[in-house]
Amino acid sequence: MKVLIVEDDPLHRAYLHESVAAALPECVAVIEAASGEEGERLARENPAAHVVMDLQMAPRNGIEAARTIWRERPATRILFWSNYADEAYVRGVARIVPDGAAYGYVLKSASDERLRLALRSIFVENQCVVDREVRGTQALSFGRRGGFTEGEYDILLDVALGLTDRAIAERRGMSLRSVQNRLQQIYDTLDVHDQGAGGRFNLRARAVTTAFLRKLLNHGALEKAEAELDRWLAGRKG
């Protein structure tokens, strides 16, 4: 067994190296990458390696790196190890996990024992492991009570990217009325209204600000969405 650690903080890499050695005595090699790009390259060079992946890295974050690895090798087992259980990260991971893949999402605040148990559960027993706090975010995000549907979340991203209602309708293959109805649902979910404010609020801008403050959006989610928008626009020109 080989394990590839993708983590930009050298102290965290060293800690993960020690944890892998303690949890997985059958591991014959621990490979380290200091960036998402390097992680993708080393994963190609070591196609049988399991992966421990940080999420917040620059310029290429862990979700982008994991998506590339899974696109090329869907059977790869990946443990995401992160400081964050924000909805933007949870949704980002959920969107890229291949069907049937064994993966994990463990917070950096978890105990040594918890991390080692997750390593064995995912890499040896082929089981999924998700921390309780992350599961709570998943339940809120995908349980639909107080959260967004995937369609609504896509439109929230489009609004954050500055697309007009007509552009969103064209991109998502929807009618203009359907887009406007979903926008109203987004405003209702975020409790964004202009009642009694005398027209002082731009509801689109207010919705994006509220989503950032509630950690429904973050830099990584918008970076990924911007790249997808660029590909769509390039396709329209072609």
Domains identified in the chain and CATH numbers: 2-142 (3.40.50.2300), 150-237 (1.10.10.10)
> How confident is the model at residue 147, as a pLDDT?
67
Name the helix (H) or strand (E) containing 67: helix 62-72
Single out the residue of 82, 1, 4, 10 nearest to residue 40, CA to CA: 4
User: Does residue 134 register a pLDDT over 50?
Assistant: yes
Strands of the chain, DSSP E = 2-6, 29-33, 50-53, 78-82, 103-107, 129-130
Kindly give the residue spans of alpha helices, DSSP state H, lying in 79-173.
87-96, 112-123, 132-142, 150-160, 165-172
Largest pairwise CA distance in the chain: 67
Residue scoring higher pLDDT (212 or 120): 120
66 within 8 A of 4, measured Cβ to Cβ: no
Strand partners, 2: 29
pLDDT at 166 over 60: yes
- pLDDT tens digits, residue range 38-65? 999 999 999 999 999 999 898 888 999 9
Give the residue-averaged pLDDT of 156-174: 92
Residue scoring higher pLDDT (96 or 113)? 113
Sort 206 into a burial class: Cβ within 10 Å, 0-12 / 13-18 / 19+. middle
Residues 89/93/96/97 CA torsion (nearest 10 deg): -170
Kindly report the pTM of this predicted structure.
0.68
- Percent of all residues in the chain with a pLDDT value above 90, rounded to a whole number: 55
Q: How confident is the model at residue 171 (pLDDT cuts 50, 70, 90)?
A: very high
Length of the chain: 238
pLDDT, one tens digit per residue, over 59-111 is: 888 999 999 999 999 999 999 999 887 777 888 888 888 888 889 999 999 99
The answer on pLDDT for 143 being more than 50 is no
pLDDT tier for residue 10 given thresholds of 50, 70 and 90: very high
Is the bond into 59 cis (omega within 30 degrees of 0)? Answer: yes
Pick the closest to residue 50 from 102, 108, 112, 15 (CA basis): 102
Per-residue pLDDT at 146 exceeds 60: no
Which of these ranges, 9-18, 70-79, 188-197, has the smallest mean pLDDT? Answer: 188-197
Structure token pair of residue 45: 């060079």
Mean pLDDT of 207-225: 83
